[in-house]
A and B are shown apart, each in its own frame.
Chain A
């Protein structure tokens, strides 16, 4: 098999299709943000499947082709996941928000000056609003109740990994 730079094309074009789909469908209001990311990933996967089908039909079912199929799939899934992280970090990262506050201030700030602009109360209020908007939380008689507990699975996985790798279940322990 001839190894040249075209090896990278299947994963590259699938990722390009994913990003283009996500940006276009969200920017022009066809899909919500999360929907556009999920469907963008699925669209990229379809493009990759199309390219791989074409390559198998022209190059045959060889060991090298199967290995490259695994490689292309790995490249696309990882690149798609990184793109999802890029989108997600802008939504919910505390670090990103702190950086943005410093950039907006345009000067050095003490911790007190930072927390006058962005603080733990703001984090909680923002998260409550987002959970309500996404149907995970409901407010009844001034009390918040969990409606959809799907996030609990993620919490359980992260808690297990924290215990396994760090020997504690919270950074505040």
Chain B
């Protein structure tokens, strides 16, 4: 029973530290900061689980609870950190009610909110792209991510949609 309580407790501590940190002094690179916080909490969780249980399987079980809950929250957090073009459009359309919007009006939205520029800048900060003399290239981590996603999409026969 203690393994489940320790890991759920660590997940709640991770959330509490994240909220207090963000509310008191927002990190300059929030995505990198939350990943680092997640990794540190997970390492401490594993050490404590190992010391308390002295059992590999119990430690692994508890560590997986924290690992999966933490990464689920961290991935969800990226939606807080970055705007969604779909939700932006839906909110703007809802505000206009029955009047709606023309295609041109919707395109005006992205003239003041350049999503591609914003994501490229984030990817440079997060190490998913690297700049070489004004040109950008993929890093190993982004190539690996693409291979992972492509494998799944081939499995379900989904083709190359996205974005």
CB-based contact A124/B106 at 8 Å: yes
C-alpha spacing A127/B84, complex, angstroms: 10
Q: Which residue of A lies closest to B158 (CB)?
A: A90
Verify if B86 is at the interface (C-beta below 8 Å from A): yes
Cross-chain contact of A108 among B86, B110, B137, B162 (Cβ < 8 A): B137
A82–B155 contact, CB under 8 A? no
**Cβ–Cβ < 8 Å partners of A114 in chain B:** 116, 120, 136
Number of chain B residues close to chain A: CB under 8 A: 86
Contact A144:B93 (CB < 8 A) given known A22-B156, A82-B75, A123-B115: yes
Residue from B1, B55, B135 having most chain A Cβ neighbours under 10 A: B1
Contact with A along B117-151 (1 / 0, CB 8 A): 11110110000110010111110001101101100
Contact of B136 among A71, A108, A127, A152 (CB under 8 A): A108
Known A-B contacts A93-B163, A103-B138, A108-B135; the reply to A127 vs B94 at CB < 8 A is no
Q: How large is the interface on A (under 10, 10 to 19, 20 to 34, 35 or more residues)?
A: 35 or more
Alpha-carbon gap, A154 to B86, bound state (A):
11
- The verdict on A38 contacting chain B, using a C-beta distance below 8 Å, is no
Other-chain residue from A27, A75, A91, A109 in contact with B65 (beta carbon distance below 8 A): A75
B51 at the interface (CB under 8 A from A): no
| A110 close to B110 (CB less than 8 A) | no
Distance of B105 from chain A, by nearest CB (Å): 9
Interface residues of B in 66-94 (CB under 8 A from A): 68-69, 71-72, 75, 79-91, 93-94
Q: A63-B1, A109-B136 are in contact. Are A143 and B162 (CB under 8 A)?
A: no
Given contacts A82-B72, A108-B135, 18 further A-B contacts (CB under 8 A): A63-B1, A74-B65, A82-B68, A92-B86, A93-B163, A98-B120, A99-B145, A118-B116, A121-B110, A123-B116, A136-B90, A143-B100, A144-B106, A155-B91, A158-B79, A158-B87, A170-B113, A172-B118
What 10 A-B pairs have minimum CB-CB distances, sorted nearest first? Answer: A97-B163, A78-B68, A67-B1, A120-B110, A145-B100, A143-B100, A108-B135, A3-B58, A146-B93, A71-B4
